[in-house]
């Protein structure tokens, strides 16, 4: 007779832990293969842990009401050699030819097993920072960077994102020092140029931004009323300014949409200061317009023009680029019909404005198709703070406000 582990299985792609709701067995019970023995609850559903093979329960280590990480040892079965061979179940404490690699930390070695060679962790009590939300699936695996590897990356000035192109050969797909050195040798003769300080600043901001779960939604907006109204103004305010103003008014009506998550609190904006992305050589400058919700477009126009010009000339001060809660970027000036911009690390939202396109639309009043100028608004948001429905309603409100430009 041999011991077979009962482990917390991987219950879904984004599930790293689960809570035991009910133990359906007790020590001494006889079970069969694929029998449901433990009822567990994840952030998504209630599921059951089943046995790998038939046998007798000799030990239970999991407790009801406690969260355990994937791979934790919850109990032990005693099974016959014939049953183990029939089901291909792993044996607790068996040894065999494993992967030997200096980069594997001792705490990780217990997380990998093949066939009948295995050792398992003791149960892990999990205390997620935000209970009920999914956390990265699986064990450290490819995400783990050993101290030696980290030291070599620091020596080369590399970030974690810089090695994403390297296919790891270590346990769990981990990138080893050998993989890194082979990759560096492979690209050694490739053409290269030094990244400018501006490009490095953008890269750093985007790395930090991408640490969050970002999502994008889009909505086509008719622009004819706005374009006709703007054409009658002298001087004509920038089209992006109208979008900035509509964005600020919509956010002021629902301020939590522009909040940011700190621990278990959503911090609301204290002022609706919005940034506008200005393209410069090898990067982007984002001057910030203050209290956009409180001033009409005509009142903001002069300051807006000055900030955009200063941005293009790279003459912005730290005060002129700080404190924004969201940004508008008009990538339509490049003829682009669609895009998914990325918000700055300190902002939850960024609104993209695409190129205006003449589109045939049916008119009940005329009884025929008429040309309508439409542009797509694309909103990228931090999904921890805003859901798709909230983002969609925000876009709808911005669209409504743009249909009454005289009120902006």
Cα distances (angstroms) measured from residue 296 to each of 179, 225, 243, 300, 302? 57, 17, 12, 6, 12
Residue 318 and residue 402 share a domain: yes
When comparing pLDDT for 117 and 361, which is higher?
361
Q: What is the distance between the alpha carbons of residues 335 and 356, in angstroms, rounded to a whole number?
A: 8
- Are residue 315 and residue 188 in the same domain, yes or no? no
Whether 208 and 324 share a structural domain:
yes
Into how many domains does the chain fold? 3
Q: What is the mean pLDDT of residues 332-342?
A: 91
Same domain, 176 and 290: no
Residues 295 and 381 in one domain: yes
**DSSP letters spanning 374-401:** EEEEEEEEETTT--HHHHHHHHHHHHHH
Decide which of 202 and 331 is more confident.
331
Specify the CATH number for the domain of residue 129: 2.40.50.100
H/E stretch holding 185 reads helix 177-186
Residues 271 and 179 in one domain: no
Residues 168 and 212 in one domain: no
d(CA 143, CA 279): 34
Average pLDDT, integer, range 242-252: 95
pLDDT at 27 over 90: yes
pLDDT at 102: 36
Mean pLDDT (whole number) for 347-352: 94
The per-residue pLDDT for range 268-290, each reduced to its tens digit, is: 999 999 999 998 887 888 999 99
Measured between alpha carbons, how far is 135 from 42 in angstroms, rounded to an integer? 11
Could you tell me the residue range of the domain that residue 334 belongs to?
199-407
Q: Residue 149: its pLDDT value, please?
A: 86
> Which range is least confidently modeled, 13-27, 159-173, 359-373?
159-173
- 91 compared with 97, residue with greater pLDDT: 91
Which of 121, 138, 155 is the last residue in one of the domains?
138
- For the cut 50, the answer to whether the pLDDT of residue 119 exceeds it is no
Q: Is 261 helix (H, G, I), strand (E, B) or coil?
A: strand
Mean pLDDT of 212-240: 92
Structural domain ending residue among the three candidates 156, 172, 192: 192
261 touches 282 (CB < 8 A): no
Residues 180 and 265 in one domain: no
CA-closest candidate to residue 167, choices 180, 154, 157: 180
Predicted TM-score (pTM) of the model is 0.63
For residue 255, pLDDT over 80 is answered with yes
- Are 133 and 173 in a shared domain? no
CATH of the domain at 151: 4.10.320
243 plus 335 within the same structural domain: yes
Lowest model confidence (mean pLDDT) among 155-159, 227-231, 376-380: 155-159
- Using CB atoms within 10 A of its CB, is residue 140 exposed (0-12), middle (13-18) or buried (19+)? middle
Whether the CB-CB separation of 277 and 286 falls below 8 Å is answered with: yes
Q: Could you report the per-residue pLDDT of 45-77, keeping only the tens digit for each?
A: 678 889 889 999 999 999 998 888 888 899 999
Range of lowest pLDDT (73-87, 308-322, 334-348):
308-322
Same-domain pairing of 229 and 374: yes
Q: Could you give the count of Cα atoms lying within 13 Å of 366 in the half-sphere of its Cβ?
A: 8
| Rounded Cα distance, 11 and 44, in Å | 10
Residue 250 pLDDT greater than 80, yes or no: yes
Distance CA 35, CA 23 (A): 12
Count Cβ atoms below 10 Å from residue 245 Cβ, excluding itself: 28
Q: Are both 334 and 301 inside the same structural domain?
A: yes
pLDDT classification of 95: cutoffs 50, 70, 90: very low
Query: Mean per-residue pLDDT for 156-184?
Result: 82
């Amino acid at each position: 007779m041999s011991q077979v582990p009962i482990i917390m299985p991987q219950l879904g792609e984004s599930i790293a832990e689960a809570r035991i709701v009910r133990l359906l067995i007790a020590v001494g019970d006889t079970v069969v293969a694929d029998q449901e023995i433990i009822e567990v609850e994840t952030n998504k559903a209630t599921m059951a842990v089943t046995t790998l093979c038939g046998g007798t329960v000799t030990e239970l280590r999991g407790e009801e009401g406690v969260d355990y990480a994937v791979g934790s040892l919850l109990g032990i079965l005693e099974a016959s050699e014939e049953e183990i061979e029939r089901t291909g179940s792993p044996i607790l404490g068996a040894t065999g030819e494993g992967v030997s690699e200096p980069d594997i930390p001792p705490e990780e070695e217990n997380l990998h097993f093949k066939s009948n060679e295995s050792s398992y962790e003791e149960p892990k009590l999990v205390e997620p920072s935000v209970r009920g939300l999914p956390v990265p699936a699986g064990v450290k695996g490819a995400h783990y960077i050993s101290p030696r590897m980290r030291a070599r990356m620091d020596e080369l000035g590399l970030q974690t994102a810089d090695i994403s192109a390297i296919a790891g050969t270590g346990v769990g797909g981990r990138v080893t020092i050998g993989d890194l050195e082979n990759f560096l040798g492979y690209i050694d003769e490739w053409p290269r140029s030094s990244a400018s300080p501006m490009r490095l600043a953008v890269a750093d901001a985007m790395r930090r931004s991408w640490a969050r779960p970002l999502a994008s939604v889009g909505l086509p907006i008719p622009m004819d009323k706005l374009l006709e109204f703007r054409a009658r103004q002298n001087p004509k305010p920038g089209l992006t300014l109208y979008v900035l103003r509509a964005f600020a008014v919509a956010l002021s009506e629902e301020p939590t949409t522009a909040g940011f998550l700190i621990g278990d609190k959503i911090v609301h904006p204290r002022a609706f200061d919005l940034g506008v992305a200005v393209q410069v050589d090898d990067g982007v400058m984002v001057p910030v317009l203050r209290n956009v919700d409180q001033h009409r477009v005509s009142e903001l126009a002069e300051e807006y023009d000055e900030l955009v010009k200063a941005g293009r000339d790279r003459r912005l001060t730290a005060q002129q680029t700080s404190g924004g809660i969201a940004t508008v970027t008009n990538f339509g000036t490049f003829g682009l019909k669609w895009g998914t911009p990325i918000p700055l690390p300190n902002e939850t939202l960024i609104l993209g404005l695409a190129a205006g396109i003449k589109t045939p639309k049916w008119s009940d009043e005329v009884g025929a198709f008429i040309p309508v100028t439409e542009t797509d608004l694309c909103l990228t948001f931090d999904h921890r703070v805003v859901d798709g429905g909230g983002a969609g309603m925000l876009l709808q409100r911005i669209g409504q406000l743009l249909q009454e430009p005289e009120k902006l």
